[in-house]
């Protein structure tokens, strides 16, 4: 099914990190789940390639998944340049707070509807 088990393992790691983020599970779960998967599926090359612990899962969520959600958010509310110019003009603190509030609302709405 998969020609490259290393690439498939990376994809599995990303999906497992996404599982943690979308279901509000602790990242420390990966310290137990990864060895468990290797034990349960000893004949799976993908499971044997998993090297996901809490630190790596945190970085995948912060540097990959969160970036994708932020880009989708900015695409939804309008051009990023327009938003940035509004933030830097005038009383930026109030505007930044409202943007952060809208971003939180958007992310909670996306996760509650199962959007990935």
pLDDT value at residue 100: 66
Instruction: Give the residue with greater pLDDT, 46 vs 95.
Output: 46
Average pLDDT (26-34) is 95
**What number of CA atoms fall less than 13 Å from residue 99's CA on the CB side?**
20
Lowest mean pLDDT among 5-9, 18-22, 69-73: 69-73
Q: What is the DSSP letter of 113?
A: T
Burial class (CB in 10 A: 0-12, 13-18, 19+), 8: middle
What's the pTM value of the predicted model, to 2 decimals?
0.58
Highest mean pLDDT among 14-18, 81-85, 90-94: 14-18
Q: What is the DSSP letter of 50?
A: -
How many angstroms separate the most distant Cα atoms in the chain?
61
- Per domain, the residue ranges of the chain are 5-112
- Per-residue pLDDT tens over the stretch 32-87: 999 999 999 999 999 999 999 999 999 998 888 888 777 777 777 665 566 666 66
Displacement of CA 29 from its chain's centroid (Å): 16
Contact 45, 5 (CB under 8 A): yes
Contact 8, 49 (CB under 8 A): yes
Instruction: Give the residue with greater pLDDT, 101 vs 39.
Output: 39
pLDDT value at residue 74: 72
Joined together, the tokens standing for residue 67 give 């970036």
pLDDT value at residue 92: 47
């Amino acid at each position: 099914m998969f020609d490259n088990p290393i690439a498939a393992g990376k994809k599995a790691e990303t999906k497992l990190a996404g599982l943690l983020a979308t279901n509000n599970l602790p990242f420390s779960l990966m310290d137990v789940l990864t060895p468990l998967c290797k034990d349960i599926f000893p004949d799976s090359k993908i499971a044997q390639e998993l090297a996901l612990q809490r630190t790596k899962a945190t970085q995948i969520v912060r540097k990959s998944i969160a970036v994708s959600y932020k880009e989708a958010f900015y695409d939804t509310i309008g051009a990023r340049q327009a938003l940035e110019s509004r933030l830097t003009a005038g009383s930026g603190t109030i505007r930044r707070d409202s943007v952060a509030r809208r971003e939180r609302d958007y992310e909670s709405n996306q996760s509650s509807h199962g959007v990935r």
